[in-house]
Amino acid sequence: MASGAAGAAPTGTGRPPLEEEEEMPELSDDEEAWEKEEEEEEEGTAEGPQTRCLFCDRLFSFAEDLFSHCEIEHEFNVGDVINKNGLDFYGYIKLINFVRLKKPTAAYLNSLCSPLPWEGEEYLKPELEDDLLLQFDIEDLCEPSNVLSSNGLNDTTMLLEQLKHAEHRANLAEAALVRAQDDLQKMKQFAQDFVMNADVRSRSSANAIADLHEDEDGVYFSSYGHYGIHEEMLKDKVRTESYRDFIYQNPHLFKDKVVLDVGCGTGILSMFAAKAGAKQVIGVDQSEIVYQAMDIIRLNKLENIITLVKGRIEEVDLPLEKVDVIISEWMGYFLLFESMLDSVIYAKDKYLAEGGSVYPDTCTISLVAVGDMNKHVDKLVFWEDVYGFDMSCMKKAVIPEAVVEVLDPNTIISAASVIKRIKCNAASIPDLEFSEEFTLTIRTSTRCTAIAGYFDIFFEKDCHHKVMFSTGPCCTKTHWKQTVFLLEKPIPVEAGEALRGKITVCKNRKDPRSLFITLSVKDAKQTYSLQ
């Protein structure tokens, strides 16, 4: 296959000059068109297809010129990438279409190693119509002399260009080293100051952290004072109907019982319990929504059964000493976000009568492996060119932040692994921080780009009709969605492989309602925040 524009005519006609007395033979239409094309090319007026540069808007009529431009202006050598990654012709095609579609920087492409983000079959589809680069014979890319000669540059000119770029990179590296040394010195000084003033700081910090916790709790409860968040939860049919079905289908658990609803919100669970035959229901909530709940209770003529109390369960005085049943919808993202289970456990230890029950009574947290290269590329490569500006430093902020979103079930590449089971009737607050090893059995050969977590809820203890629901990616969507932990570097996996790892879940000491989650998978380790 010819490189550049295939089938280009030679620059000369290859015919001897005709003497004046010779009669010019008539030319066919094809011959006239061919001769005209030759003349136009010699005069430089021929119009042919042009292809845009991989990194800027400059147009080129020949692939060789484009590649030379990329090497000189953008420091990107296509031949080097082909050789480095052992690309065949189809791999080269995918590379070109990937660059056209995702618009990564040259620096990002030069830094890549296996697995490559353009390995998906979708990158065989041309992104640019009539792209000259897709007609190029990649064998020519491995011969730098061809590119040089086609561009009319001699070896000396190219060498000077390379030396200039090398010098520029050396200057940047030297400046970075100076900054690093300066930062190191500042860190040493900070450490010395920290140790010298530890006693003073510990006393002032204790007061500051206490104030901070109080402020954060205020923000937390304030967020539940707005009707919008309650509307979202009530419209979550999986959530609300599961609680309704559990209560209405097991009236024997509530008949003539005293029930405590921790974090009652609009009072929906309290009203379910009253309708199921509860003798008395106490609902507790710190947020302002409790005043709306009082109106709701009166509207439904249940004020003789249901009493609402505003305040934290840890601080209020209830109008009784013991209750028979505790119900609560306390679950947050990844089950434990918001730490409301702490309040349920406090209520259990203080108010639950002997033989009483907490519902839901069992909860599990599970992990699955995710393989979604497109989303992985979009979340990371995006920052490399934002309206022409390099924001790649933002990756350091993107990766450690857990993402709450609805996963495409087709991207799940492993069986689920339960990493935590909580028995609410026996749980203690220290149980809510843990480390567990896990194994994910891979179902398909691909690359693992993330680990995702979700939870399942069970109403089972003494139930005639057991009820459960799941927030997993293969089940009906809930407002809890799934929690996704993006891996910095995708991990190649094979079907049937046992992908092993370890997870550690602990509270953020500065904000106990948020979580720090550390994942170790193969040789990679990353701590994520959920807040």
CB 82 within 8 A of CB 142: yes
Q: What is the longest distance spanned by two Cα atoms in the chain?
A: 126
Catalytic: 139?
no
Catalytic: 338?
yes
Dist CA 219 CA 146 (whole Å): 66
Spatial CB neighbours of 359, under 8 Å, sequence gap ≥ 6: 246, 253, 325, 326, 327, 328, 424, 459, 461
E strand spans, 126-279: 258-262
Which residues sit opposite 503 in a β-bridge?
Answer: 436, 519
Q: Of the residues 338, 354, 433, 494, which is catalytic?
A: 338
Q: Helices 198-223 and 155-196 sit at what angle, rounded to 10 degrees?
A: 100
Report CA torsion sign: 77, 80, 85, 91. Answer: positive
Dist CA 90 CA 72 (whole Å): 25
Residue 309: burial class (beta carbons within 10 Å; 0-12, 13-18, 19+): middle
| DSSP collapsed to 3 states, 136-181 | CCHHHHHCHHHHHHHHCCCHHHHHHHHHHHHHHHHHHHHHHHHHHH
Number of C-beta neighbours around residue 14 at 10 A = 6
3-state secondary structure of 380: helix
Amino acid at position 216, single letter: E
Q: Of the residues 64, 71, 329, 384, which is catalytic?
A: 329
What are the counts of helices (DSSP H) followed by strands (DSSP E) for the chain? 15, 17
Q: What are the φ/ψ torsions at residue 21 (nearest 5 degrees)?
A: -80, -15
Amino acid at position 446, single letter: T
Active site residues: 329, 338
